[in-house]
Amino acid sequence: MPITVHAALIETLKRHFALRNSRLETLAVLIVALVQGRTVNLSHVASHFPGAAQHGSNYRRLQRFFQSIRLDQAVVAQLVVRMLNLSRPKYLALDRTNWKVGCKDINILMLAIVTRRFRVPLLWTVIDRQGNSNTGQRIELMRRYLSLFGAASIELLLADREFIGADWVKFLMENKVPFAIRVKQGQCVALADGRLWTIKSLLRRRRKSRSLTTFQASLPDASTVLSFAVKWIDGRKGQQGEWLIVMTNSPDAKAAISAYKNRWAVECLFADAKTRGFNMEDTRMTAPDKIDTLTTVLAIAVTWTYRCATQTMGMKAIKRKVHGRREKSWFRTGLDALRAWITFAPQHAIRAWQNQCPKRLKNL
């Protein structure tokens, strides 16, 4: 690991995290090792420390770091927004990722920014059990976001069928958070005449075409009238299609269902964090506090990766292949560039990191 890159990270990180020099050095090693080694396994990360210390000593140093250090998510969220110039209203995607370490479940509820180019973690909650998040956890996560950036910074909050419930929707409405949430066909709604119907019953006689239709209804336990947009999605070869049903408080329900396709970017983010990028599932840690710290390091590494992609591509677009898809993702473009720069052109890696890294942070 070039010492110049190492020193540049320490110089900027010490402005935002109250850590002593040895802890800052460990944090810098973690970030660079995550990029170069594409793994979060501490045994592999330990080989990236500069100096002549034994591998076992470096490994124990990493273990002590995760035992005692908790990095402030609010600081990292503001760094992400400032470094990627994402202060304008943007799409947020709320989703959950989980995997197993032995018989222990790792379960992370994540709020991410998704744009045409970027998909980056912003705030998250590590759930200490398997299964879906509850309403309280979702509300607490959104409150943290709103305290930092405010509802005006959200163009639309996108979420899948897991994130439904009268109390959750009421919270979003009271805080003026625009949303587009997919719902199941079995969702019960109340029409203007007060009768309760399942959406599946309302769609029973509707032709399965690609035409988009909308209707207004409210959830059974809430009086607020919401818009529902419905569209038939054809299945792939050999598979059946299904109804795409999106619930929104946006005045333009058709635009909301069109914007909902951006939610898929958070699934791509999870793939970037796992097998297509940093292999987060390689960790053997299971304690929620340690997973929280590891996710913070991941968010910083993802941000640096996208800064490199921006420096590499500028305003250009990634070429498309014959089948219409891009040659590679924006994330992969930045990751390939950053890995090469750290080894062969450290000044480029440093410039990508330092150009937009603020000297001090304030609530946006």
Cβ proximity of 79 and 357 under 8 Å: yes
Report pLDDT digits (tens) over 302-353: 999 999 999 999 888 888 888 888 889 999 999 999 999 999 999 999 999 9
Please return the burial class of 22, using the count of CB atoms within 10 Å of its CB with bins 0-12, 13-18 and 19+: exposed
Tens digit of pLDDT per residue, the chain (364 long)? 456 899 999 999 999 999 999 999 999 999 999 999 999 999 999 999 998 999 999 999 999 999 999 999 999 999 999 999 998 999 999 999 999 999 999 999 999 999 999 999 999 999 999 999 999 999 999 999 999 999 999 999 999 999 998 899 999 999 999 999 999 999 999 998 888 999 999 988 777 766 788 999 998 877 789 999 999 888 776 677 889 999 999 999 999 999 999 999 999 999 999 999 999 999 999 999 999 999 999 999 999 999 999 999 988 888 888 888 888 999 999 999 999 999 999 999 999 999 888 877 764 4
What confidence tens digit (pLDDT) does each residue in 199-243 have?
999 988 777 766 788 999 998 877 789 999 999 888 776 677 889
Domain ranges of the chain: 3-71+294-354, 184-243
Cβ(114)–Cβ(80) under 8 Å? no
- Kindly report the number of other CB atoms within 10 A of residue 125's CB atom: 20
Q: 134-166 burial, b if ≥16 CB within 10 A, otherwise e?
A: ebeebbebbebbbebbeeebbbbbbbbebbbbe
Residue 76 and residue 300 in contact, taking contact as beta carbons nearer than 8 Å: yes
**According to DSSP H, which parts of 220-263 are helical?**
253-259
Q: Provide the angle, in degrees to the nearest 10, between the axes of the packed helices 3-13 and 21-37.
A: 120
The DSSP string of 140-167 is HHHHHHHHHH-GGGEEEEEE-TTS--HH
> Which ranges constitute the DSSP H helices of 38-54?
42-45
